[in-house]
Structure 1
Amino acid sequence: MSYRYRLATIFLLAFFLDCLNIFMSTMALPAISLEMGLSTNETTWISHAYILGLTLIMPLSLWFGELLGARKLLTLSMALFALASLLSGFSTQFSALVMARLFQGITGGLMIPVGQAIVFAEFPKTERSKISTMIMVIALIAPAFSPSLGGIILDYASWQWIYFSNIPLALITSFLAWAWIKNASFSKQKSIAQKPDWIGLTLISFSLFLLLTALTQYGQAHQNIWLSHLYFGIGILLFVSYYRYSKKQSNVLVDLSLLTNIRLRASIAVYYAVPGIFTGINFLMIFYLQKILGFTATQTGQLMMLYAFGAFITMMVSGYFYNRIGPKYLLFLGVILHSFGIALLYSVDESLTYLLLIPAYLLMGIGGGLAANVAQTNAMIDFQNETLLKSSVLWNINRQITFCVGIAVLTLIFSLYQAFLPLMQAYQVTFITASLLGLLSLFFIQKLPVHTIS
């Protein structure tokens, strides 16, 4: 195996663990809620703590990478990830489990931007679509199969083993990072790690924390609506303060100036329109299918297999067409197909179930797989060396935030419709609204150049 594919293997294993923890751990939440006597709103923080940990540490990952080197950082992060998984499984109190999950997110967040950056640096521009396809295949496999895997673990063991099951793979990844990564892989330009900008770190970290907290509460805890407004307002204020502050600094942690790059900006918009919106749609569909249409959990989970099948097909061919057609037309096609699949959900009722659900999930998978894969490749295609590392941090922070935003925004929209529409209609109109929101990304896509990547 060549060196660059060894690096890709290490990163993909770590990325798989990340996706697994986002999706499989949700299967454990009902059992944890019952055992610890938690409300639904309290239980969601077990998942959100992991995403917050990932998001808040990513701005520091490059500094740690320069300080320790890629080999030590990736080895240590996966070893600590195994420890955090052990602590999560042994937690007997809610607060301890939330802190263990936060720690688990922090250890995973240390590795992802650095791992992706060193892998992309080893692949020339014309071949980055290959590694992007691998990344998106992993991003499909995890949500498609992890609910079933989590269910098996819960049926034959206990919720603790969902966390314990991460330990072997984390330790294997840690060993491979130590054995395969060369010491000079991380930074070819800097021999001395610069101290992080602690003022900027404080501003961006608290901004992200408050905004994610507000979005979560908007969708789940309407009795605290004014507190959510306060969190959101302060979060926006801190974000604006960080933006103004960062423009005066030469060594920023999250370089928002990179958003002037048209490809990165369009790719971020697509990620909100596709993976972000689908995450929210999938969340609502679980309740719609089971509470309104009487589906079982197994039947609901099987629909994700259709989505994964459709996405897998397009991901296998998108790399071929990326260098021939270019990202603009592929993103147009992917977003339109994805939005049309969501729009089909409007007509799904007791009389038209599988007749519409099957093409809807296939179209969402085909369009979503195409758009997400092309966006992943397109986002960092113009960056090299230090800017590639910084763009990796910005891109991965965005990737984590889209999951929270998708669920929070669509849940909030559904709750507003529910106030004056019958329950089934509220769901259906929310689906139509989501499909239209996805089309807003076409405004950013149409600004992309038509020519292909060379």
Structure 2
Amino acid sequence: MSYRYKVASVYLLGFFIDCINIFMSAVALPSLSATLHANSSAVAWVGNAYILGLTLIVPVSTWLAARFGNREILTASMLVFSGSVWMCGQADSFHELVLWRFVQGIGGGLLIPVGQALTFNLFQGEQRAKISTLVMAVALLAPAISPTVGGIIVDSSSWRWVFYSNIPFSLIAAGLSWFWIRERKPAELRRPDIKGLVFVSAALASLLMGMSLYGGDYPPLAALVFVIAGLLLIALYVLHYRRCNNAIVELSLLRSKKLSTSILVYYAIPGVFTGVNLMSIFFLQDTLHFSARLTGMFMIIYAIGAFIAMTLCGRVYNRVGAKRLFILGMLLHSAGIATLVLVNAPGDLWIIVLAYSLMGIGGGIGANTAQTTSLMDFAGGDTHKASVIWNINRQMSFSLGAALFLMIFNVLLKQFDTTQAYHATFAVAALVGLLPLFQMRQLKPERSAHEQRSG
């Protein structure tokens, strides 16, 4: 095997591990919350803590690799990941589990951007398209199989083995990183914007905490305090940004309609889906008494729809344009969420299959179009800065989606019975997923390739 494919193998293995940790753990949440006595408001922090760890470390991971060496950072990341996964499985309290999930996110966040940079620097031109296809295949394979595998593990043993099962993969990734990655002399890089990173991470944590507390068994004032703190931290970052020459998030780039619209769509589709899927897992397991295995299998339906949509979307993007694809993706995705409102009994399997099919097709169109469109206005150094914004917001969308709809469900649960509260939450989510439609008029249609040649 050539060196570049060795590097690509390390990156793809790490990327696969990261993906399955988001989706496999979700299917174990009902069992986990019962064992550790965590309510539905708090249980989202199993995912939030992991994503917060990723958000904190991703912007500085490249600097750390340049300072200490690629091989050392990649190996250390998977060793940290392995140790924290073991401690997650050993956790005797919910707070202990959340702490180790945060550490686990830091471990995963070190490998992904460093491995991606190494890989894409070794694959140029047409070869980069091939490796991108492999990355997309992993991104679809992981959510397709991990919920089903996680469900089998939960049904046959314990939620703890959902975490333990990661250890062989992460240890293999650590070993391959040490033996396959060639050492490079650390380069001198500008010191990262640590202060700005702290503001951004603290603001996200405060807003998530506020949404988690509101609607739960906590005083509304406590939730309000965290929300206000989050907004103040955002204001502090804006002031910091105006004085900093190397800010972690370059806010001026948000003037790009393509980037800002893509970010909104990502919140409306993958972000909303993360919350809807979490609510669906609890609805199907706790209310309709589906097994964890059957619940996880619906993600296979979603992944098939997303794969078909992404394949077609890549072929027609230049001819159809981002605006039309965004609109189609949001309409189909929200239609799928709205279909979940019709689910009332265990016999409604075909309704659930239809719902996940529509969400998969719409989600595939929307997410793929957003990924393609987001960085089109940038070149050179601005591309890297825009990429930082895109990836931080991509991670935030998952956490905010889960926290938002858990909050909405808990508020509705005080007014309706359980099934009605789930149905109302799905209806609200379907409407929220359509909000970026109001932004579409600002997105100018791209000129076709024929028009560009004629001009």
TM-score, normalised relative to structure 2: 0.85
CA distance in 2, matches of 1:121, 1:98: 35
What is aligned with 2:67? 67
1:99-178 map, 5 Å: 99-119=99-119, 134-178=134-178
Residues 5-61 of structure 1: CA distance to partner in whole angstroms, max 9, x if unpaired? 655443332222112112222444455555555555555544432222112222322
**1:372 correspondence with 2:367:** yes
Say which of 279, 284, 293 aligns to 1:289.
Answer: 284
1:264-413 map, 5 Å: 264-350=259-345, 353-384=348-379, 386-413=381-408
**1:211 correspondence with 2:207:** yes
What is aligned with 1:79? 79
Residues 175-198 of structure 1: CA distance to partner in whole angstroms, max 9, x if unpaired? 444555566799xxxx41222334
How far does residue 227 in structure 1 lie from its aligned partner after superposition? Answer: 1.0
How far does residue 406 in structure 1 lie from its aligned partner after superposition? Answer: 1.3
Residues 200-227 of structure 1: CA distance to partner in whole angstroms, max 9, x if unpaired? 23322321221222223236x2423211
What is aligned with 2:432? 437
Counterpart of 1:349, as a letter, is N
- Taking a change above 3 Å as real, the CA distance of residues 391 and 301 of structure 1, as seen in their structure-2 partners, is same
**1:192 correspondence with 2:183:** no
Residues 128-157 of structure 1: CA distance to partner in whole angstroms, max 9, x if unpaired? 776555444433333332222223334555
CA distance in 1, matches of 2:197, 2:229: 16
Q: Secondary structure at the match of 1:194?
A: coil
How far does residue 382 in structure 1 lie from its aligned partner after superposition? Answer: 4.2
Counterpart of 2:280, as a letter, is M
Counterpart of 2:138, as a letter, is I
CA distance in 2, matches of 1:37, 1:352: 30
Counterpart of 2:74, as a letter, is L
How far does residue 422 in structure 1 lie from its aligned partner after superposition? Answer: 5.1
Counterpart of 2:257, as a letter, is I
How far does residue 362 in structure 1 lie from its aligned partner after superposition? Answer: 1.0
Counterpart of 2:210, as a letter, is A
Say which of 439, 447, 455 aligns to 1:451.
Answer: 447
- Taking a change above 3 Å as real, the CA distance of residues 229 and 304 of structure 1, as seen in their structure-2 partners, is same
CA distance in 1, matches of 2:36, 2:289: 28
How far does residue 364 in structure 1 lie from its aligned partner after superposition? Answer: 1.0
Q: Secondary structure at the match of 2:214?
A: helix
CA distance in 2, matches of 1:292, 1:86: 31
- Taking a change above 3 Å as real, the CA distance of residues 174 and 378 of structure 1, as seen in their structure-2 partners, is farther
Q: Which structure 2 residue ranges, 5 or more long, are not aligned?
A: none
Counterpart of 1:233, as a letter, is I
How far does residue 105 in structure 1 lie from its aligned partner after superposition? Answer: 0.8
CA distance in 2, matches of 1:377, 1:122: 21
TM-score, normalised relative to structure 1: 0.85
How far does residue 448 in structure 1 lie from its aligned partner after superposition? Answer: 4.2
- Taking a change above 3 Å as real, the CA distance of residues 287 and 114 of structure 1, as seen in their structure-2 partners, is same
What is aligned with 1:20? 20
Residues 278-337 of structure 1: CA distance to partner in whole angstroms, max 9, x if unpaired? 112222223333455454444433322221211121123322223444433322222221
- Taking a change above 3 Å as real, the CA distance of residues 81 and 388 of structure 1, as seen in their structure-2 partners, is farther
- Taking a change above 3 Å as real, the CA distance of residues 351 and 288 of structure 1, as seen in their structure-2 partners, is closer
CA distance in 2, matches of 1:200, 1:423: 42
Residues 375-400 of structure 1: CA distance to partner in whole angstroms, max 9, x if unpaired? 22322344455433333332222222
Say which of 197, 203, 209 aligns to 1:201.
Answer: 197
Moved more, 152-161 or 241-250: 152-161
CA distance in 2, matches of 1:155, 1:421: 30
- Taking a change above 3 Å as real, the CA distance of residues 147 and 266 of structure 1, as seen in their structure-2 partners, is same
- Taking a change above 3 Å as real, the CA distance of residues 181 and 140 of structure 1, as seen in their structure-2 partners, is same
- Taking a change above 3 Å as real, the CA distance of residues 67 and 363 of structure 1, as seen in their structure-2 partners, is same
CA distance in 1, matches of 2:287, 2:157: 31
Counterpart of 2:12, as a letter, is L
CA distance in 1, matches of 2:315, 2:182: 31
Residues 83-125 of structure 1: CA distance to partner in whole angstroms, max 9, x if unpaired? 3223333445555433322211111122333444555566679
Counterpart of 1:277, as a letter, is V
Q: Which structure 1 residue ranges, 5 or more long, are not aligned?
A: none
- Taking a change above 3 Å as real, the CA distance of residues 185 and 368 of structure 1, as seen in their structure-2 partners, is farther
Counterpart of 1:206, as a letter, is A
CA distance in 2, matches of 1:6, 1:384: 29
Residues 62-93 of structure 1: CA distance to partner in whole angstroms, max 9, x if unpaired? 43244235444333322322232233334455
CA RMSD of aligned residues (A): 3.4
How many residue pairs get matched? 449
CA distance in 2, matches of 1:383, 1:125: 18
Residues 408-452 of structure 1: CA distance to partner in whole angstroms, max 9, x if unpaired? 222333344444445444433332322222112223344144236
- Taking a change above 3 Å as real, the CA distance of residues 39 and 344 of structure 1, as seen in their structure-2 partners, is closer
Moved more, 93-102 or 302-311: 93-102
